[in-house]
Structure 1
Amino acid sequence: MSDLQIGLIALGVLLILVVVVFNWWQDRRIRARMREHFPEDENDALLGAAKTSSSMPGERREPGFASMAQGELLPDDEEEVDHPLEAVLDISFAHPVPADALQKAVHGLSDVGGKPVRIFAERDGGGHRSRLRAGESYVSLQLAVLLANRGGPLTAIEWSQLWTVAQELIAKFEGSVEAPEQDEVIQRAARLDAACAELDVQVGLALRPEEPLPLSQIQQITRDVGFMPYGRHLAWMAESGQPRFLLLMDGAAVADLQSDSVSRLDLLLDLPNSPVDTQPFSRMAGVGRDLARRLGTVLLDDQGRPVVAEADGKIDEQLAEIYARLESTGFVPGQPRTALVFS
């Protein structure tokens, strides 16, 4: 190596040292000026919290969040976004938002256009929440909207309504929002709606007395047969406590009747929302025939034709195939997740 090359290398090293020293000197001068204008204080809301967290990791103390330490003990909530069934808007806040303020901002947000909306949050310091808890504060929020139900697929208008809610939240609390493109969401909704439509099977049977009967008489007979109250309906219950099929009076739930007499009874087997049964139709038809005998009428199918007992087994086989298809696509009959879409 020549003297010239050695000299150039030495000069390069010297220049690097000069730059490093200069940057160090500049940094010290800037820090000194900052301390003059913003002296550190143990009670400072920002610097104090930073010092505490660096010296004692895992223990954060911030003004206004008195119950934060208790929140550390609470495990994550198990309920999460169901990505195949829901579209999600992810909201990140610039600063942690107290639960009470966030609750007021999202109060009343339960659906858009008949599509249920669920709210999930990430607690400041860590922790997944499927509901907001008093005393906590949150750094992010998820708005999850159902893509389809019996009201049809999620529409562009419904998706825009949820977007508006998200925009209002980030304007109020400062933050940002991320979400899939609208066209992608609408296409997903249409595909889910089409897939579920092929599995959405309901079977009905009807009884039409020759003349209207007193409601009190109908209520007594249905109790004797074995129907039990279920929400606003009367239902024939399974051992699991789930309804196998419902009883409608004049096309309505018993709680919604506006008359003291009844001219028509309907038995409704809603396959997605009833537990799997090896004889779903035979069971309902048997109860229907018992009712028909007590009311002095005939059991009819949904076309108004008398139901022939010899056909019960064949219909059971057809419904068993629908049950199997529901389960194979992830919709277990009678379960809450299935009810979310088939409602």
Structure 2
Amino acid sequence: MQIGLISLGVVLILILVCFNWWQDRRVRQRMQEHFPEADEDPLMGSLPPVVGRREPGMGASVDAAAEENTEADPVCEAVIDVVFSHPVPGAELQKAVRSIQKAGEKPVRVLVEHESGHTLYLREGSTYLSVQLAVLLANRSGALTDIEWSHLWTIAEDLAERFEGSVEGPEQAQVLSRAKELDAYCASLDAQVGLALRLGGAKPIAEVMQAVKEAGFLTYGNQLAWMSEAGVPRFTLLFDGVAAADFQQAGVDRLDLLLDVPRSQADEHAFSRMACVGRDLAARLSATLVDDQGQLVTENADHAIDEKLHELYQKLDQAGFPAADERTVRLFS
């Protein structure tokens, strides 16, 4: 009798596991039917990988990627030139510039001049007569400020003093005017769309994490993201407003889905794709899906929001800032 009951219990467990697997597979198939992945996005074409800041590096051998010319961006950057009175060895220059990364909240790129232009790469055994300090004019912290520009100018003067050089650059008023104009223009193209899952009280982080991974989220840097086939996040997931890698609590009572339009791959179904994943997660966790105003999310509005976001992706592309492009990511950071 006991053996029979045990056998029956095992059979029931197997049936339950198979049912859950089938249900999960059915949800994924339905999402794939509604939102097929294109081999190449009609707006974007093939995207280069998104990379972070590259510091000037050195090495005995020079590969093609490192050797290629990198010029300052005349639209997004302001440049200060430091011209040396005598050639400076690459090893000495690298030590002097490797700590130059930011002026306040604005990233700075250090470009060294070689025979055919500028590059981020310092050749071992070579000497250099000048460098450029290229600072981003605007990002989500706002337009470049007079304090940030003065900070960069001081860095340039220190370099010039160290290597007996001179400093050349545009007038501060001109730079700040360009920065404000770019900042205002980018603000008109910026958008982030959020959804929240209310879990109805704190749930163990292990349980939530399992559901999130089963729903298809992958690790991307310090975040969890729903990835496109191009390897670019479509949207990311936060735990009580905190990135996954930074979340330290034992329980979580809210999940946030965030679609960062300029930093995500262009998608005709951007919102409805995120909402569909949100509904799937809500079902897995017995949660309630709401918008950033706290209102229940219904499928009726998905298409209209998709169209609005698609228009914004097109505007970004027309402005020369394709969504998820390296240049765009720098501006909208």
Tell whether the structures are fold-level matches, with TM greater than 0.5.
yes
| Corresponding position of 2:83 | 92
- 1:78 is displaced (CA, Å) by 2.6
Cα deviations by residue, 1:194-224 (Å, 9 ceiling, x for unpaired)? 0001111000000111110001001100111
1:259 aligns with 2:254: no
How does 1:302-341 map onto structure 2 within 5 Å? 302-341=292-331
8 Å CA contact 1:76–1:127 kept in 2: the answer is no
1:121 and 1:247 map into 2 onto residues whose CA distance is: 39
| Preserved CA contact (<8 Å) 2:200 2:287 | yes
CA distance in 2, matches of 1:269, 1:332: 16
Counterpart in the other structure of 2:132: 142
Picking from 197, 213, 233, the partner of 2:187 is 197
Q: Which amino acid aligns with 2:96?
A: A
- The two structures have a TM-score, normalised by structure 2, of 0.79
Kindly tell me: are residues 282 and 74 of structure 1, through their superposed partners in 2, closer, same or farther at Cα, counting changes over 3 Å?
closer
Residue 103 (str. 1) matches residue 110 (str. 2): no
> In 2, Cα distance between the equivalents of 1:184 and 1:338?
23
Moved more, 300-309 or 73-82: 73-82
Q: Encode CA deviations 1:315-339: one digit per residue, 9 max, x unaligned.
A: 1011111111111100000111100
Pick aligned residue for 1:273 from 230, 254, 263? 263
**Deviation (angstroms), 1:74:** 11
Q: CA deviation at 1:79?
A: 2.0
Q: Which amino acid aligns with 1:218?
A: V
Mapped partners of 1:233, 1:190: distance in 2: 31
The offset of 1:173, in angstroms, is 0.9
Give ranges in structure 2 of 5+ residues lacking alignment.
1-59
- 1:262-289 deviations in Å (ceiling 9; x for gaps): 1110000000001110100000000000
Q: How does 1:202-213 map to 2 (within 5 A)?
A: 202-213=192-203
| Larger-gyration structure (1/2) | 1
Among 140, 162, 169, the residue aligned to 2:159:
169
Whether the 8 Å CA contact 1:207–1:299 is kept in 2: the answer is: yes
Deviations 1:211-246 (A, max 9, x none): 100010011001111000001000000010100000
Instruction: Specify which structure has the bigger relative contact order, considering alpha-carbon pairs within 8 angstroms and separated by 6 or more residues.
Output: 2
Question: Tell me, which stretches of 5 or more residues in structure 1 are unaligned?
Answer: 1-68
| Equivalent residue letter for 2:125 | G
- The partner residue of 2:105 within 111, 114, 123 is 114
Aligned-residue identity in percent = 53
Q: Return closer, same or farther for 1:277/1:127 CA change in 2, 3 Å cut-off.
A: closer
Q: How many residues align?
A: 274
Q: Kindly provide the amino acid, as one letter, of the partner of residue 188 in structure 1.
A: R
Distance 2:326 2:278 in 1: 27
Of 226, 243, 249, 2:239 maps to 249
Q: Indicate if the aligned counterparts of 1:75 and 1:127 stay in contact, CA closer than 8 A.
A: no
TM-score by length of structure 1 reads: 0.77
Report how far residue 80 of structure 1 moved: 1.6
Q: Which has the higher strand share?
A: 2
Does the C-alpha gap of structure 1 residues 248 and 70 become closer, same or farther in structure 2, counting only changes over 3 Å?
A: closer
In 2, Cα distance between the equivalents of 1:302 and 1:327? 27
Residue pair 2:70, 2:118 contacting (<8 A) in 1 also: no
